[in-house]
Amino acid sequence: MLASFSAVSKRQTWPLLCFFRSVTSATASVSTISHASEEIHEKSPAGTNETPLATKNSLVFLDSLAKTHFASVHKPQPSEADLVKREISTLLKNKSFESLARVLVKWTSVSSDGTWQSVLTHNELSYLVNKIVNHQIGLITKAGTSIMVHSNGIQSLSSMAPARDLREKVRSIYSNLLYGELRGHLYLRNRRNAVPAFRLSALDYENLISMELNNGKLDLASKWFQRMELQFSEGLYYQHMTQKLWLLKFQVYSGGLSSLWKVEPTDLYELEVNPRRSRFKAEKKWLDVFDDFVCHQELLLASSKVIFDTNLLTVMLSSMAHSNNVAQVTKLVEQNWGISSRGKMDSKFSKPQQGDPLFPTLDLVQTVVVSMIYNKEYISGLAYLNAFQEHYNIDLSESKHCWDQLFRWSEITTRFSEFRALQYFIKQTATTLYKPVDEGELSITLEEAQRSVDFDYEGYLKFVADLTNQRTKLIGELWKGYHQSQPGFSARVYLTYLRLLEENPLDETAYEYLSALALEHRLHSVSTDSFNKSATNDTIYKIRTLYSKGMKALINEKGMRGELWQIQPLIRKWSLDDTMRERLGTWATSQQPRFLEAMNKKNLTMTGEEEEDGFLGLMS
């Protein structure tokens, strides 16, 4: 793409090169371009290969000559535009997207000494912005994980600031292009009726919609679809809808992006999960978007026949799952990949092979499994995960993001609180309450429920045990699969498993967790003077924090069980180093009053039970 940059006049390019260097020199280290003019284009004399050398001495003589002896006298100097293009190419190669974005913001502004059109075509500018947008989306994903661990008391060196900064720069680029003299933010109200000075291309719309969508701004993403319809009026809009834009339309309007799915409070859990950053009321049924796509397929591919590929089916499956249409999801999977909801492969099914547009990708497998988990079809989700690995050799060793999503949705959809579970159980069993309450305001404690004659206490305990067992088994199976695949350290995975340990403290599981983290600590530890020390700082910090939390959970359990004599040996043996050993020892000492109080209560309870048993023995 960059090789096709248009030529420019010498009058315009020299100021541009000076400007380019002034913008990038402060923040990006780019390679010097002075060597570019010294490149030598070697060329052998015409006919050399056709005329054989007569003697060995001649061959030796020619070999002894420097190669520059045969070099062309003409040494074309690169134009200033070529030098600017090489600077841009270097920024891309070094992934210096922040510097590139800053250059494009300045370059497209009205105060720039030169114009970007003198070097770049419209398509080339859109291509560069696309690279910046893709990088920004990656930063959003990374920062999202950091926010997740931070909200659970785990500090991270990563933050949302770089992602926000890049997002605003992309908005500034398009604000400069569209409104020129009108300074200010891209979404200012006074610009709604302003006539744009620039016509956006399909790739520009892809850039803007994709960025706003992945930043949780569904309302803004939707507005760019609306602007596109206005720009290409009288039915021409559909002629400019690319395959990528259709996929984005599924993601914006019908829940085709699982990372933006909302989870409403349930009878078993009161908290809402909403990753979106704005209100959006223009959602559509996935079938309506699909019908629109089918009707205009001919304009896209010059064919009235719908052509399915993995990318299209992936967003369709997400949209179906978001609308809770599990039957349609399982039917689509079985029709295209031959796998049933029980994980069985149809023996008569002709599997798509590598290179086929329908060959399953990692994204597709992730979507299928997440779709099942989101709809609480946990067994089917695990069955699909195993079946795709077995029958299509899907490699999960390079799939950290996939595992993150599987653990995320497993943890969210299996949450419950015992208090809410009690209220739900009472309503489902129509228990006659000892304490009357108003309908819709059911709030009763377990002790109060036990006063009711028809309260099924054993049934309630089994109900809670089943919920716990379901959560433990699902996350436990994913934990096994994660370690078998070895995709690399994931803070989300370990944090999810830590929550399980805190809810169901078991010594064996806790030691397994600590052993796995200790191995990660050894793998990521480097010497203090290592050149890549800074690259591992964030990971090491997360590992140590998660390990300390795991140790505290185990210490707390032993303390609450009255096993105080085991705490100090545990700290001495399992701490990663002296620093952690000292900090955990101090923390354990501070918790001793709480542990002693719990032990005293336990002893009093046991004493009371023994006295009651003795009294009953005397009465018998």
- Output the DSSP codes for 130-198: HHHHHHHHHHHHHHHHHHHHHHTT---S--SHHHHHHHHHHHHHHHHHHHTTS-S-TT-GGGTTPPPSS
Residue numbers in the chain where pLDDT is lower than 50: 1-13, 28-53, 439
CA 324 to chain centre: 22
User: In the 8-state DSSP scheme, what is residue 238?
Assistant: G
Determine the pLDDT at residue 48. Answer: 44
**Burial bucket for residue 68 (CB in 10 Å: 0-12, 13-18, 19+):** exposed
pLDDT at 148: 67
Q: Give the pLDDT of residue 5.
A: 40
pLDDT of residue 64: 66
**Phi-psi sector, 235: left (phi>0), alpha (psi -120 to 50), beta:** left
- Long-range Cβ pairs for the range 376-380 (8 Å, 24+): 376/413, 377/326, 377/341, 378/410, 378/414, 378/470, 378/474, 380/330, 380/341, 380/342, 380/343
Instruction: Please tell me the predicted confidence (pLDDT) of residue 82.
Output: 79
Distance between CA atoms of 162 and 293, rounded to whole angstroms? 36
Please indicate, yes or no, if residue 550 is contained in any of the structural domains: yes
Confidence (pLDDT) at 313: 97
On whether residue 326 sits in a domain, the answer given is no
Give the residue from 147, 181, 198 where a domain finishes: 198
Q: Is residue 407 part of a domain?
A: no
Q: Which domain holds residue 614?
A: 505-527+534-620
What six digits make up the tokens of 500?
Answer: 């399980």
CA distance readout (Å), 208 to 4, 119, 181, 372, 454: 24, 23, 21, 31, 60
**Per-residue pLDDT, 62:** 61
What is the pTM for the complete model shown? 0.83
Structure tokens at 126: 């859109």
Q: What is the C-alpha separation between 570 and 511, in angstroms, rounded?
A: 11
Could you give the number of structural domains in the chain?
Answer: 2
> How far separated are the first and last CA of the chain, in Å rounded?
94
* 257 within a domain of the structure (yes/no): no
> Can you tell me the distance from the alpha carbon of 103 to that of 20, in angstroms, rounded to the nearest whole number?
7
Query: Sign of the CA dihedral 303, 308, 312, 318?
Result: positive
Backbone φ and ψ for 435, nearest 5 degrees, come out as -105, 110
| Residue-wise pLDDT tens digits, 108-118 | 887 655 678 88
Contact 127, 202 (CB under 8 A): no
Do 537 and 157 form a contact (C-beta atoms < 8 A)?
yes
Is residue 173 situated within a structural domain? yes
Q: Which of 198, 225, 250 is the last residue of a domain?
A: 198
User: Distance between CA 164 and CA 144 in Å, rounded?
Assistant: 12
Among 198, 224, 240, identify where a domain stops. Answer: 198
Dig out the tokens for 70 from the structure: 């045969």
Is 342 contained in some domain?
Answer: no
- Which one-letter DSSP state was computed for residue 305? S
Q: Is residue 137 part of a domain?
A: yes
Residue 44 lies inside a defined structural domain of this protein: no
